[in-house]
Structure 1
């Protein structure tokens, strides 16, 4: 990362819904000295955003970029900053040139996409370029999929510390999710995936290991390990409803796909730490098996419907928010997200060895996303040498930012707590 650039961080898409929240959080809440700027397509809108921030840590500049082409992004943004926070979605539609420009310029990049097909595509296209030019690229460092990735990392870290072994199986559950709804950009992105990618491409990314590099790095172990400490029956798989110790009744989670893919990429890049037989599965907690079946079949039905173009067109017409719009701050005051997870250590014993993790945030989900990506960028800015020494360059995951990231999040009221279950351990 070049040291003589104009800015430490540029927020691209700062006039959009998520971009504004990101800029606001960076201006109001980050006490470490950072020279940053905001970028977008409209000077008047950028000026309005900058004026409303009204902070001693206000952006040092505004950058107008009319076209998201590789030459223009490279000239106006990528070569001017050390780190780019990209809030322009749908990412599959607009942001491939942005990633390419960063990879070619040696500029670190973070975004908040949840578009697994696109993430798979850019990894294939730009991984080697990013490594060659010493760029760190971290997609999905928002609500998808940083919480899940940090929960998994925290469990593995605790088990390593106590029992000096990896993890076999990990089951996570969205225990509570109270939200004021999705923004217009999020909804447009979800609908756009069905139009941009073929059914074959979408199906390929339903595999929870679709982003894992493990099969490319080590062929001595199972390519896609199946759970070894529990089994779901045919009926449970069919209905989606089942029960897991300490987590209760569970069912299919609509957000599990991207989260599982990112967690397995983390594990696949560092199998000697996570464990070669590591398996992560994510579900949603429900009040009863009946509720679980209803939720599961509803998700299946809606997915089928959205694959039909006329139905997508109808859904677009009834969207509450348009792209660039989202829930008001007032409506998100009582929002809440809690994830609970159980990880089983590789060393089986008479007394089961496990770690129990709890992730909790009280506030709006897009506010959470802003904290996740801003503090991720600050961690990368301040701890780059340590992160690169451990993980190298190229496409990394949120957990690669390590304990320093988790500590910053803790101070920002994003809480991740871990406790051991079982014997005292060997260390």
Structure 2
């Protein structure tokens, strides 16, 4: 690693997410960082570097690497870097050869996909190769699914420190989100069914523990809590959850659940979180009517996009092209907040619980850039942690407390508390 030309390369630096990453690197990371921007067109990359110059005149400017997504060019590129940040999506269309190159050449890799079927594919194909070559590969380290993964890890760590036992269940919710999707996000949503069938997507989002490296044992039979019972909940996806509010189906539930379940299996083969651990993921809504509309709209929308002519029409009508997104002054008003409740794994009528909140005010794609850049710094600076992780397809929470500390210094608010005993 010490012989690498660059510490870090940002692939897709000219895109909407890529520009957020490189601007954050320019203004916040160490000025002696050896880094490069990579993409298909030299003139666009050169213009980007010119835009970065005024942001920090003390910084070493990035090198420029022109590359197409061809195996030979990608292998040559990743050999130059310790860490590669990939912002070229949709990942199910463009990400596989990049992961393959990093896994084969021992280069650490980060991306911000939310494409669950694709992540399952690369776990199966490249986990062992990456492990053999000591390459740490972490997909889903953006809004999907770093916040709920880190929040879950923090709650489990708190309960372990307080009670020396595991967690029975974490229920996480997207409490608030004020933002708009980029063209790349919309493109991903509209093309995923070009690569995967509905059954494949349903399986990837089913929460069946298929992302975990170890099987999940059957949990002991217990009565279902009130928010998981009832015909209305089953048919309309709406439930009232203590401490969290009225909730419905979350569009990111599959990706978040897959990520947290993989973290469960990676950390001491499930023993740190606890053998009976379960994870649930929802979104908060104003009332039950809104929740039912969202639940039904998501179901109908997915079925509609499975019909090729309707999917073609939706692509024609999408308002943003890949690489486009909200204007900077608009994005600065974005807010995102996740909340979660963790239940201690203990045989009590009312087991003890902990509550957590993770919040960020500012651009959502800016936050994605922060996640990528600060995760890269963990991989570059935390040598002992990197040695312990040793490679493979991992998750955001595997970067542990060092990553959480970097994110809180960058403006992410993380608050944890033990709830009063007997709290519902």
- Report if TM-score (shorter chain) is over 0.5: yes
Hey, what's the Cα distance between the residues in 2 that align with 1:226 and 1:256?
Answer: 24
Hey, what's the Cα distance between the residues in 2 that align with 1:22 and 1:307?
Answer: 33
Aligned match of 1:136 = 136
* Alignment check: 8 A CA contact 2:237 2:295 kept: yes
Answering whether residue 253 of structure 2 is matched by residue 256 of structure 1, we say: yes
Q: 1:229 to 1:32 in 2, by over 3 A?
A: farther
Aligned residue runs from structure 1 range 382-401, under 5 A: 382-389=381-388, 391-401=389-399
Deviations along 1:362-414, whole A, 9 cap, x unmatched?
0111111001111011111111322431x332011000111111111111111
Aligned match of 1:405 = 403
**Which stretches in structure 1 are left out of the alignment for 5+ residues?**
none
Q: TM-score normalised to the size of structure 2?
A: 0.94
Tell me the secondary structure at the aligned position of residue 174 of structure 1: strand
Q: 1:228 to 1:376 in 2, by over 3 A?
A: farther
Q: TM-score normalised to the size of structure 1?
A: 0.93
Hey, what's the Cα distance between the residues in 1 that align with 2:19 and 2:4?
Answer: 24
Tell me the secondary structure at the aligned position of residue 113 of structure 2: coil
Hey, what's the Cα distance between the residues in 2 that align with 1:353 and 1:383?
Answer: 34
Aligned match of 2:244 = 247
Tell me the secondary structure at the aligned position of residue 272 of structure 2: helix
Aligned match of 2:199 = 200
* Alignment check: 8 A CA contact 1:168 1:227 kept: no
Tell me the secondary structure at the aligned position of residue 368 of structure 2: helix
Aligned match of 1:236 = 233
Tell me the secondary structure at the aligned position of residue 37 of structure 2: strand
Aligned residue runs from structure 1 range 320-399, under 5 A: 320-349=319-348, 352-389=351-388, 391-399=389-397
* Alignment check: 8 A CA contact 1:170 1:343 kept: yes
Instruction: Return the offset for 1:229.
Output: 5.9
Aligned match of 2:84 = 84
Aligned match of 1:63 = 65
Q: 1:83 to 1:123 in 2, by over 3 A?
A: same
Aligned residue runs from structure 1 range 23-422, under 5 A: 23-31=22-30, 33-54=32-53, 55=56, 56-65=58-67, 67-75=68-76, 77-179=77-179, 181-208=180-207, 209-215=209-215, 221-222=217-218, 230=225, 231-270=228-267, 271-349=270-348, 352-389=351-388, 391-422=389-420
Instruction: Return the offset for 1:351.
Output: 5.8
Instruction: Return the offset for 1:232.
Output: 2.7
* Alignment check: 8 A CA contact 2:49 2:62 kept: no
Tell me the secondary structure at the aligned position of residue 30 of structure 2: coil
Hey, what's the Cα distance between the residues in 1 that align with 2:374 and 2:222?
Answer: 33
Instruction: Return the offset for 1:70.
Output: 2.0
Q: 1:282 to 1:228 in 2, by over 3 A?
A: farther
* Alignment check: 8 A CA contact 1:169 1:229 kept: no
C-alpha root-mean-square deviation of aligned residues, in Å? 1.8
**Which stretches in structure 2 are left out of the alignment for 5+ residues?**
none
Q: 1:227 to 1:341 in 2, by over 3 A?
A: farther
Tell me the secondary structure at the aligned position of residue 271 of structure 2: helix
Tell me the secondary structure at the aligned position of residue 404 of structure 2: helix
Tell me the secondary structure at the aligned position of residue 336 of structure 2: strand
* Alignment check: 8 A CA contact 1:342 1:355 kept: yes
Q: 1:199 to 1:298 in 2, by over 3 A?
A: closer
Q: 1:227 to 1:93 in 2, by over 3 A?
A: farther
Hey, what's the Cα distance between the residues in 2 that align with 1:277 and 1:147?
Answer: 22
Hey, what's the Cα distance between the residues in 1 that align with 2:274 and 2:35?
Answer: 39
Instruction: Return the offset for 1:198.
Output: 2.0
* Alignment check: 8 A CA contact 1:131 1:394 kept: yes
Tell me the secondary structure at the aligned position of residue 134 of structure 1: coil
Hey, what's the Cα distance between the residues in 2 that align with 1:229 and 1:267?
Answer: 22
Q: 1:225 to 1:265 in 2, by over 3 A?
A: farther
Hey, what's the Cα distance between the residues in 2 that align with 1:238 and 1:342?
Answer: 24
Instruction: Return the offset for 1:256.
Output: 1.2
Moved over 4 A (4+): 224-229
Stretch of structure 1 that moved more, 376-385 or 365-374:
376-385
Deviations along 1:226-283, whole A, 9 cap, x unmatched?
8866233243121111111101111111111111110111012221101111111111
Tell me the secondary structure at the aligned position of residue 171 of structure 1: strand
Instruction: Return the offset for 1:334.
Output: 1.6
Stretch of structure 1 that moved more, 51-60 or 404-413:
51-60
* Alignment check: 8 A CA contact 2:212 2:262 kept: yes
